[in-house]
Amino acid sequence: MDVSHLSLLRELAERGSITAVAEATHRTPSAVSQQLKTMQRELGAPLVERHGRGVRLTSAGNTLAAAAVDVATALSTAQAVWDEFRGSNSGTVDLVLFPSAGQLLLPRLLAKEDLLSGIELRCDDRDVRTEAFAALTADADIVVAHHVFEPPPWTGSRLTAVPLLREPLDIALPEDHPLAAKTTCSPRDVRGERWIGVPEGFPFDHLVKQIGDLAGQPVTVVQRLRDNRIIEALVAAGHGISVLPRYAQAATPGSGVVLRPITGLKAGRRMVALMRPDRAERRAVRQVLRGLTEAAAEITAGDSS
């Protein structure tokens, strides 16, 4: 039972093709194919089978791939024990965040220089549908994801998930909007409004629909955009109202947009750090993760809505 073979099988299970595994491991498809072959010869049973133009794992292969995760995790723990012993951080950490998490968390994270000393932190921002976050863990060490509804789609996917914070979602209005005079907004208040939404499947999308359901009338979404800055500009210009996260929005005063808490439903999103279990064991990853949780705590400190 060879470890490099096991990790190969695991990568294949997660990435689905030999070519993808080869790219991820900086090798040629030829090398991967050969190793798979010797592995099957040693084990005495087929692990992959051809399927269309590519391959897929047999049930035997999937079974072994699951066990391979535990081996990789134990190995990562050993490395972490070693790094802990030496007090040194090993290598780089790839961190992926969705944009407003980056806006909120990154400045505070990067300020913790003592935590990050010796770590090369490579950040990337990605705005994807909720169910697409899990796949990002294949290449990134930490993926900061968010979800509005329970359970999040990565439950049961054998990923390590560390909760960071819950952020209230408010109704965003132009500051001259009649409703801006009120302190809160109910779904009924916003009946008939034109909405600036997000693409289907993005976290806030279903929440806007739910507001329509509670008001007894489907919402009218006139635009669908990802970037909150654009949404904010459209709302300020009176093209519609929207749902925006409270903390991220509070960071941009003078925008011409005001936020009003939604009554009648629990509107909030949760930010979570997602990791492959073996990567979660790395000392450097744990350091960055700790920085993220501390940053999150700083944001929620003094807010309790």
Partner DNA sequence: CAACTTTACGACTTACGTAAACATG
Partner DNA sequence: CATGTTTACGTAAGTCGTAAAGTTG
Interface residue list for its own copies (CB under 8 A): 1, 3, 6, 43-45, 60, 63-64, 66-68, 70-71, 73-75, 77-79, 81-82, 85-86
Nearest to 35 by CA among 52, 22, 53: 22
Which residue in the set 6, 9, 13, 36 belongs to the binding site for DNA (CB under 7 A)? 36
| Interaction between residue 41 and DNA (CB under 7 A) | no
Return the residue of 53, 151, 302, 305 that touches DNA, per CB under 7 A: 53
Burial class (CB in 10 A: 0-12, 13-18, 19+), 107: exposed
The only residue of 48, 101, 134, 295 in contact with DNA, by rule CB under 7 A: 48
| Region of 30-38, 71-79, 88-96, 224-232 interacting with DNA (CB under 7 A) | 30-38
Q: Would strands 220-224 and 142-147 be described as parallel, antiparallel, or unpaired?
A: unpaired
Cα separation, 287 vs 51, in Å, equals: 42
Instruction: State the nearest-atom distance from the C-beta of 4 to DNA, in Å.
Output: 7
Q: How far is the CB of 2 from its own copies (least distance, A)?
A: 8
The candidate with the shortest Cα–Cα distance to 14, out of 162, 159, 201, is 159
* Count of beta carbons in the 10 Å neighbourhood of residue 235: 26
Smallest gap from Cβ 291 to its own copies, in A, equals: 24
As a whole number of angstroms, the distance between CA 57 and CA 45 comes to: 12
Binding at 77: pick from DNA, its own copies, none (beta carbon under 5-8 Å per type):
its own copies
The helix (run of H) or strand (run of E) holding residue 224 is strand 220-224
In the bound state with its own copies, the residue whose beta carbon lies nearer, of 67 and 297, is 67
- Residue 178, judged by CB atoms within 10 A of its CB (0-12, 13-18, 19+), counts as exposed
**Nearer of residues 16 and 153 to DNA, judged by Cβ:** 16
Choose the contact partner of 18 out of its own copies, DNA, none; CB within 5 to 8 A by kind. Answer: DNA
What is the C-alpha to C-alpha distance for residues 275 and 79, in angstroms, rounded to an integer? Answer: 17
* Residues at the contact surface with DNA, assessed by CB under 7 A: 2, 4, 17-19, 26-31, 33-38, 48, 50, 52-55
